[in-house]
Structure 1
Amino acid sequence: MTASGDIRSRLVYGLKIALPLLALVILSTLFLVSRRTDTEGAIPYADVDVDALAREQRLTAPEYSGLTDDGTEFLVRAGAARPLARGGGQAEDITAELVTDAGLTLGMRAAQGRMDPGAGVFTLAGDVLLETSTGYRIETQGLKASTVRTEVVSDGAIHATAPFGVLDAGAMALTSATETPDGYVLVFNQGVKLVYNPEN
């Protein structure tokens, strides 16, 4: 009995020393062998000019919407915009949509433009594309649209594809028809050239 008790007590005494040492060796191995963390690659950084952001005010993906006096809804979106000192804002990568009270839809797209809420207009410039729900596709270098009434006017010549053919003109204007309730007039003028494609 005495011999077995001595063996047991020696075993317990040895384990009290060996087990903590073994745990310490395992923990040391984990810290020493573990892969170092790449702190530079772990945090993604945006490729932006911080100094430029600090110098100029800038909005990302702004939206401007409203309703004209004659019931046309408009929504203007931009990729980025910055305010101008004299009011309004300069924008890039613009899309705009007008939906009239009668259901006519106009979609516009341009490389750049300017919002002037004080004057009630927004202008588009740089390869402007206007598409209507009635089948017109109009290309021009500039457009001006009113946010007070339904009115879209080209700033210069246009090239259009229409349901009845292809035409070129020096100017274009879309306005509400005063003599027809819920009616709209699309006018091409200043030297119109039309290639008429009759329906088969």
Structure 2
Amino acid sequence: MKGDRYTRTVSWLKVLFPLAALALLSTLFLLSRVIDPGEAIPFAEKEIQERLRDQQITAPFFTGSTAQGDELTFYADVLTTPEGKIGANKAENIRVTIKTAQGGTYRLQSGEAEIDLTSNSAQLTNDVVIMTSNGYRLTSDFMTSGLSSLDIESPGRVYGTAPEGTLEAGSMTLSQTENGGATQLFFTNRVKLIYKPKPLIE
């Protein structure tokens, strides 16, 4: 009985294995007919020319620390180096997080940024937003930022929310003291604060 069962099993496997191999081969042939080699290129012709002209990095990520011990994290969708410009970069949709040695957190985001390594600075444009861990969320058309120290400035109008209410000012600076002490946030030029008291909890 066992010998007969073994013989029948071997006979079935002799039939099933060739059928399985045939099925796999037919699948490969079907896939080869569907895929067009001319359409398998992931970049359009225009995009290829742009990548050849400018050095481009997709989704760059960088972490580091300043001389004062502040931690810096940088993200962007695209980072390019224009032809012939050494030390200059352009970034799109950047997000920067700065955690100071004193425990404060500052987040910056903007649609575009020009980074100049020679001047150790960055120019942020296109809906620049700064958020702080102590409750500020401010928007500006243009801000500058240092690369190796916490030094952010908006020479033009800023507006948004503050811990006490809504805030608007003609300019703003965020910096540290020379000895690496606590950060200081200054608003100047027609500062307007609309106080909104917090509701009392009964």
User: Which structure would you say has the larger Rg?
Assistant: 1
The alignment partner of 1:134 has SS state of coil
The alignment partner of 2:36 has SS state of helix
Give CA-to-partner distance per residue, 1:7-53, whole Å, 9 cap, x none.
xxxxxxxxxxxxxxxxxxxx9xx98xx75722318974424322222
2:65 to 61, 64, 67: 67
Q: Are residues 76 and 155 of structure 1, via their aligned partners in 2, closer, same or farther at CA, if it must alter by over 3 Å?
A: farther
| Normalised TM-score (structure 1) | 0.74
| Unmatched segments (≥5 aa) in structure 1 | 1-26
Structure 1 contact 74–96 (Cα < 8 Å) conserved: yes
- The alignment's C-alpha RMSD in Å is 2.7
The alignment partner of 1:128 has SS state of strand
Q: Are residues 53 and 103 of structure 1, via their aligned partners in 2, closer, same or farther at CA, if it must alter by over 3 Å?
A: same
The alignment partner of 1:58 has SS state of strand
Q: What is the match of residue 106 of structure 1?
A: 106
Map of 1:138-153 to 2, 5 A cutoff? 138-153=138-153
Percentage of identical aligned residues: 27
- Is 1:46 matched up with 2:42? yes
- Is 1:182 matched up with 2:178? no
| Unmatched segments (≥5 aa) in structure 2 | 1-21
Q: What is the match of residue 120 of structure 1?
A: 120
Q: Which amino acid aligns with 1:94?
A: I
Cα distance in 2 for residues equivalent to 1:39 and 1:72: 51
Cα distance in 1 for residues equivalent to 2:120 and 2:178: 20
Cα distance in 1 for residues equivalent to 2:54 and 2:188: 42
How many pairs were matched up?
170
| Normalised TM-score (structure 2) | 0.74
Q: Which amino acid aligns with 1:83?
A: T
- Is 1:37 matched up with 2:37? no
Give CA-to-partner distance per residue, 1:81-138, whole Å, 9 cap, x none.
1114142201111111111101111111110001122222222110011111111101
